[in-house]
Amino acid sequence: MKRIGTREIAGARAAEAVATEDLIFFSGITAKDTSLSAADQTSWCLQRLDQLLEQLGEDQGSVLMIHIWLSDMRYFGAMNKAWNHWIDKENPPARTCVSGELHRPDILVEVVATAARTAGTEGR
């Protein structure tokens, strides 16, 4: 098992990602700069997911499921615009999107993902 980015996340010690032999689980990803719009926070989260995948020798194609949390559903269109710019339209992962109160009012978007381990041992 491999853990990357172990740090304090919202006041709790957690890894940004935990990879087993078969799966990778990502903690909630939120934008570093929360003054950004919902679309830009979404883009930032998805780019950070790409970076974490790369550290593990994977790419977007290994993502199985993404859960997107919005602080308010009025951001749904903006989030979808950023999502559609990022996603491989021929090979999208499964996705849910819900709204609810996030742990800070300036966070508009949080992304949680699960991916498969598809790369050889070099990323492990």
Domains of the chain, residue spans: 2-123
pLDDT per position in the chain (124 positions), as tens?
Answer: 999 988 887 788 999 999 999 999 999 999 999 999 999 999 999 999 999 999 999 999 999 999 999 999 999 999 999 999 999 999 999 999 999 999 999 999 999 999 999 976 554 5
Q: Domain 2-123, CATH 3.40.50.300 — does that match?
A: no
Query: What is the value of pTM for the model shown?
Result: 0.91
CB neighbour list of residue 92: distance below 8 Å, 6 or more residues apart: none
Q: Classify residue 116 by burial, with Cβ atoms within 10 Å: 0-12, 13-18, 19+.
A: middle
